[in-house]
Structure 1
Amino acid sequence: MGNDSQKDTNDTSALHDTSLHLADTDGDFPVHWKSGSLKYSDFKLMTEGGTAKLFLCRDINLHREVVYKTLHPEMRESEIETQRFLREARVTAKLAHPGTVPVYEMGRDRNGDMYFTMKRVRGRNLRDIIQGLRDSSEKITELFSLDVLIDSLIQICQTVAYAHNHGVIHRDLKPANILIGGFGEVLVLDWGLAKVWGETDLEHEPLPKDADPVLTPAGRRYGTPLYMAPELARGDAHIDGRVDVFSLGNILFEILTLKQLLHGKTAQDVADNLLGQALLKPSEAAPDRSIPATLEAICCRALEKDPRERYPSVQSMLDALKAYRLAGTSLG
């Protein structure tokens, strides 16, 4: 959501691209001005997923670039995807926090199709960062030491704890939904599957046997199979903030090992492995890496299959990570 990856944050052209110019700030405002979707021009496709497209476009009134999101035509009749789209816009707009992307506007275009606009954010998602570390990219390794990634995880936990305090559970936390900007900002994206306070607990539909475990399934209320908590894999009716604790533990596992915690060719394979097999400790999964024992303990507690054995809240996990950093131990 609003992800505009930069290969080199020090690139001179990127600096000029984000600098303010007089033409952007001065000039007359026309008497007959445009509103709604008509005030956006110069659309360029940024990315598209299974349910929606993101465009980069220009707000001709404020002279700024924004990200414009709209559903694929075939998804516009889907009640679940429409609700997810509305929820993403409204939850993100109401969770005004440094760790979320500002939403500017929601409306319908001339065809009656819904859209919302948000701030354009420049950075790299955590999935690509971890992949770069796996590939021993010199630039990525220089920019993203273990210290930096743990500090980023602390910011992620702060955002999620803030959301929980406001009655919102994310339910789809994963590296692809974390954006790290060139100035150290860390953003949690894609709140479309969030559970909000007062929502009726419903038993989840079973996983389709051939669903892609890497993607958030269209038309479903659960998150990405590779990062879901056991409660979601089982289809439990009642869930709470500890599902996000598990996903944060999963993210920490990848940061520490540069490997995925769960595996399987299909979503059902992943769920079967999650529910039926013991999870490896980070040091077992990556014996060649120097993994601090305290961080491994934090990771393992967050990944307990029984929610009662996990951290009782994201705030508790956050406190543990902060305590580790405040101890002054170098992580890398």
Structure 2
Amino acid sequence: MHPSIALEVGNDSQKDPNDTSALHETSLRLADTDGDFPVHWKSGSLKYSDFKLMTEGGTAKLFLCRDINLHREVVYKTLHPEMRESEIETQRFLREARVTAKLAHPGTVPVYEMGRDRNGDMYFTMKRVRGRNLRDIIQGLRDGSEKITQLFTLDVLIDSLIQICQTVAYAHNHGVIHRDLKPANILIGGFGEVLVLDWGLAKVWGESDLEHEALPKDSDPALTPAGRRYGTPLYMAPELARGDAHIDGRVDVFSLGNILFEILTLKQLLHGKTAQDVADNLLGQALLKPSEAAPDRSIPATLEAICCRALEKDPRERYPSVQSLLDALRAYRLAGASLG
């Protein structure tokens, strides 16, 4: 699991997303809000206590901890000590913190602070958010979960995708391309809010990248591995799979089309045992239409057309921007179309 996904606290797929009790686990108390100002004020990493490991990946760990000064829980992310000397992973870590902090949008997670601990290891803290990721929701639909099926109808998921597009379009307007959009990086909260996570691979206009390199041939196609890589093979655009040096926001359009394909079919668009297998299939084979991949599902023709255009291999044939894709999805919803 990528560490950023730990923002989905507990990652309990059995919880009811509409059960708001889980979203307010601790009621406010006067003792928490009206205490005297600390005599010995703590700053930096020293102001965090009660660390509980939430999850860890190949490069980083996430902890739930308490901000002593503000009496609140926050998420604390830090690189593994062995990654301290990695220029690539250090750049990704700094990029994720800074990009997320600069993108002040309801669809991103607020970053509170960045610094180094007493051992010299970098960390940043961010808001604790609750919900479930889109990957688990889609898996619940595949499994036929009655509760998930009732809560996450096609219209609900399209509305969520519209929120995702709004966040990504906002990022593009501020010079940032995500490059790693996938269901596991989308969090849907108990109030219907939708968050786009993991900006560590983002491309920021005007800043150089250290990561340009071909796909590792034997890497897991479902993961974003450490090292010089862009994105997750199962969801990346052809130009990323080829290693094109010059890319633009249309790589995110393709990934969003890929997510839409999975919403419509409950199946993955791309397949392969390794990242290279996936890239070969993406570049060498025609992509199925949603109705071809899932003939047993009733897929609205308008959504299929939107999906197919977003998934054009030639970026010149895709929607020219995420905003254009967003406009098409909004038009579909305004027309009142649904699965029925």
Is the Cα contact below 8 Å between 1:228 and 1:247 reproduced in 2?
yes
Q: By how many angstroms is 1:217 displaced?
A: 1.6
Checking the alignment, whether the CA contact within 8 Å between 1:123 and 1:180 is kept in structure 2 is yes
Asked if 1 retains the 8 angstrom alpha-carbon contact of 2:13 and 2:136, the reply is no
Counterparts of 1:127 and 1:184 in 2: how far apart (Å)? 16
Distance 2:14 2:99 in 1: 27
After superposition, give the CA deviation of every residue in 1:162-215 in whole Å (9 maximum; x if it has no partner).
000000000000000000000010000000000001134789311111111010
Shift of the 324–208 alpha-carbon distance from structure 1 to 2, 3 Å rule, reads same
Q: Determine if contact 2:76/2:124 at 8 Å carries over to the other structure.
A: yes
Whole-angstrom distance in 2 between the partners of 1:260 and 1:18: 39
Contact 1:99 1:186 in 2 (8 A): yes
Conservation of the 8 A alpha-carbon contact between 1:6 and 1:122: no
Gaps of at least 5 residues in structure 2 are 1-8
CA contact (8 A) 1:2 1:119 kept: no
CA distance in 2, matches of 1:26, 1:201: 47
**Count of matched residue pairs:** 332
Partner Cα separation in structure 2 for residue 105 and residue 136 of structure 1: 41
Given that 2:215 and 2:229 are in contact with CA atoms closer than 8 Å, whether structure 1 keeps it comes out as: no
Greater Cα offset, 73-82 or 115-124: 73-82
Whether the aligned pair in 1 keeps the contact of 2:111 and 2:127 (CA below 8 Å) is yes
Pair 1:179-2:187 in alignment: yes
After superposition, residues 74-153 of structure 1 pair within 5 angstroms as: 74-153=82-161
Q: Distance in 2 between matches of 1:94 and 1:3?
A: 27
Change (3 A) 1:4 1:18: farther
SS in structure 1 of the partner of residue 291 of structure 2? helix
2:211 touches 2:228 (CA, 8 Å); kept in 1? no
TM-score, L = length of structure 2 = 0.94
- The percent identity for this pair of structures is 96
CA separation of 1:3 and 1:167: change in aligned 2, threshold 3 A: farther
Q: CA deviation at 1:125?
A: 0.3
Kept after mapping to 2: 8 A contact 1:5/1:122: no
Match of 1:292?
300
Q: What is the alpha-carbon distance in structure 2 between the residues aligned to residue 12 and residue 80 of structure 1?
A: 40
Within 2, Cα distance between the matches of 1:6 and 1:197? 41
Provide the TM-score with structure 1 as the length reference: 0.96
**8 Å contact 1:5–1:123 — kept in the other structure?**
no
CA distance in 2, matches of 1:149, 1:273: 27
Change (3 A) 1:171 1:285: same
1:31 Cα deviation after fit: 2.2
Q: Once structures 1 and 2 are overlaid, which stretch shifts more, 26-35 or 203-212?
A: 203-212
Partner-residue secondary structure (3-state), 1:270: helix
- Contact map agreement 1:4 1:121 (CA 8 A) in 2: no
Q: Secondary structure at the match of 2:195?
A: strand
Change in CA separation of 1:56 and 1:5 when aligned onto 2, cut-off 3 Å: farther
Unaligned segments of structure 1, at least 5 residues: none
Q: 1:248 to 1:235 in 2, by over 3 A?
A: same
- Mapped to 1, the partners of 2:193 and 2:114 lie a distance apart of 25
Range moving further from structure 2, 76-85 or 322-331: 322-331
Distance 1:317 1:140, change over 3 A: same
- Mapped partners of 1:6, 1:89: distance in 2: 31
User: CA–CA distance in 2 between the matches of 1:202 and 1:22?
Assistant: 49
